[in-house]
Structure 1
């Protein structure tokens, strides 16, 4: 090959390299552009150091690509030195199925409205951050969502009733925020099967909606709020609920009239104003955890099942509850 032909070949290879930096690169160019934009918006944090323009973004830390289409389908940023607000660019990854920002104490601002564009999103977790503002109504547009976790944040305001419109939701975590107002009545009409309902450690108030009697939640955690009234509607002999935590509220109802599902393995109602006696049907349940302390219960603790396996702290500070493991009845 003469010098002229060799020169032309070198120029062709150089142009090819510039146009296609990595011939084997799988990452979609538009997805890469958006990711680099997100990196710049976060001021090039160390946790995203692998996000380099000359590297295949399908191999970058915190992201993954679909095995066939090679479009970005997951963005998961966990426990790094990252600060600022969620960039609008997250909404420009149209094939995203998983979006997670977790244990990022310097992540602030509201939930980004552009998230509403992610119609393929199934898993959304923004937790253990300092995001603020309200739980946005636009989340109800994410019809493929199966898991929603906004726990351990600084969210305020009321819970939007539109969340019950999500048809595929398996779990909703809004616990450990500063949410106020009532539990939406619409939460008794979830279109999904049996979502786990986690609303603990907020400032929710008012009665538990009667509509919740229609729902067969697998887990209900409403603890540490300011909820009032009758919570027995959450139970039911025909349900498959496994765990119920209603502790540290202002609930007031007759426990002896509650009907418990056979599936129940954990029951915590401590620090309320619950009256009545412990129903004997509790002896038929395979309880792994029980706490009815600090209420207004009376009568003898039924003998049998697991009830005597719990220590006195599960029962103490009631009006006139007696029998093992408390003092014998007189």
Structure 2
């Protein structure tokens, strides 16, 4: 019997049909991913996660092209996905991106096993039904550059430990139920100030003076119950582009404020800000401004873009006048 044809057929079958020879996915990562799928009750979003196929070809994740370890896990926009963030996400040690977004039926608290993901750079848990406090263990993720916990039901106070993240470029805590004051430590980031979004919460008290030491590109404190002086956020030597302090109870003299030349967006509406609009604003190339519903007075300076804004930018102030409002008497 000539065994050569049989051997050649077996070799061809082994080469093209054996998962162990053709699959790139790391076996440990694949096992963990299948555990995650089971923990989430096998959602349709993960239908491509077939144990018979290479996990590096599955939807919702990416593998490193060299090591073939899973480096990104992103699940979003599926109202049929239910349950909590699986514990097993912490068993993907090479993860750099973890995203659970627009999943309204994802509930529970922020999974503690995330603390094991020391390579994580981007963590986005937003537009979900997550609740509870922001855990201190997030401060252990020293490689984080982007932390987004917005549009959830998180509560409690903002942990001061977040300022120990040395590489953070953006911090989104907006649209939650946080209470208490803004921690002093958020004005003590070690590196460049991250974009800071704290809007639509229930924060109270005054702004820490330390925030004035930071040169934020964007800072949004709108729709809280903050009060007192916020003028330290401004400064002619800063490079800030966007400041939103609207719908709080801030009270300071706007006429004494010096503005960054870089400022493109300024929203101060619905506060208790007094004084007049300083002439220095005529030298700022603002793309948007709203100072309505305050206690401003005097003539709107002529020049720059100040007359390009409409009536609603300035209305409901104590005695503000001049174009685009009525002329001063």
The TM-score with structure 2 as length reference comes to 0.96
Which residue does the alignment assign to 2:254? 255
Aligned to 2:229: 230
Contact 1:22/1:54 (8 A) holds in 2: no
Quote the Cα distance in structure 1 between the aligned partners of 2:320 and 2:119.
53
The residue aligned with 2:51 is 53
Match of 1:24 among 17, 22, 25: 22
Q: Secondary structure of 2:74's partner?
A: strand
1:65 and 1:72 in contact (8 A); partners too:
yes
Displacement after TM superposition at 1:24 (Å)? 1.3
> Does the Cα contact within 8 Å between 1:172 and 1:197 map onto a contact in 2?
yes
- SS for the counterpart of 2:34 is helix
Matched, 1:69 2:53: no
CA contact (8 A) 1:159 1:183 kept: yes
Residue number in structure 1 paired with 2:155: 156
> 2:193 maps to what in 1?
194
Aligned to 1:82: 81
Change in Cα spacing, 1:328 to 1:38, as seen in structure 2 (3 Å) is same
List runs of 5+ in structure 2 lacking aligned partners: none
Comparing 46-55 and 191-200, the one that deviates more: 191-200
- In 1, Cα distance between equivalents of 2:171 and 2:31: 32
Aligned equivalents of 2:69 and 2:191: distance in 1? Answer: 28
2:312 counterpart of 1:313: yes
The Cα shift of 1:259 comes to 1.2
Deviations 1:43-88 (A, max 9, x none): 0000100001110000000000001000000000011221100001
Tell me what 1:243 maps to. Answer: 242
Q: 1:194-232 deviations in whole A, cap 9, x for unaligned?
A: 310000000011001000011000001000000010000
Q: Partners in 1 of 2:293 and 2:234 — Cα distance?
A: 20
Take 1:277 and 1:3, find their aligned partners in 2: how far apart are those partners?
97
Per the TM alignment, residue 6 of structure 1 is displaced from its structure 2 partner at its CA by 4.6
| CA distances 1:100-154 after superposition (whole Å, capped 9, x unpaired) | 0110000000000000100000000011100000111111000000000000000
Matches within 5 A, 1:130-209: 130-209=129-208
For the residue of structure 2 that corresponds to 1:164, the secondary structure is helix
In the TM superposition, residue 192 of structure 1 has moved relative to its aligned partner by 2.4
Distance (Å, rounded) in 1 between the aligned partners of 2:208 and 2:56: 47
**Aligned residues of 1:65 and 1:74 also touching (Cα < 8 A):** yes
Alpha-carbon contact 1:22-1:55 (below 8 Å) kept: no
Q: Distance in 1 between matches of 2:154 and 2:189?
A: 22
| Aligned counterpart, 1:118 | 117
Ranges in structure 1 where 5+ consecutive residues have no aligned partner: none
Matching residue of 2:108: 109
Give the aligned partner of residue 277 of structure 1.
276
Number of residue equivalences: 328
Report deviation, 1:23: 1.9
> What is the alpha-carbon distance in structure 2 between the residues aligned to residue 100 and residue 119 of structure 1?
16
Q: CA deviation at 1:5?
A: 10
Using the alignment, how far apart are the partners of 1:102 and 1:275 within structure 2? Answer: 41
Structure 1 CA distance for aligned equivalents of residues 302 and 130 of structure 2: 49
SS in structure 1 at match of 2:307: helix
Q: Distance in 1 between matches of 2:12 and 2:158?
A: 58
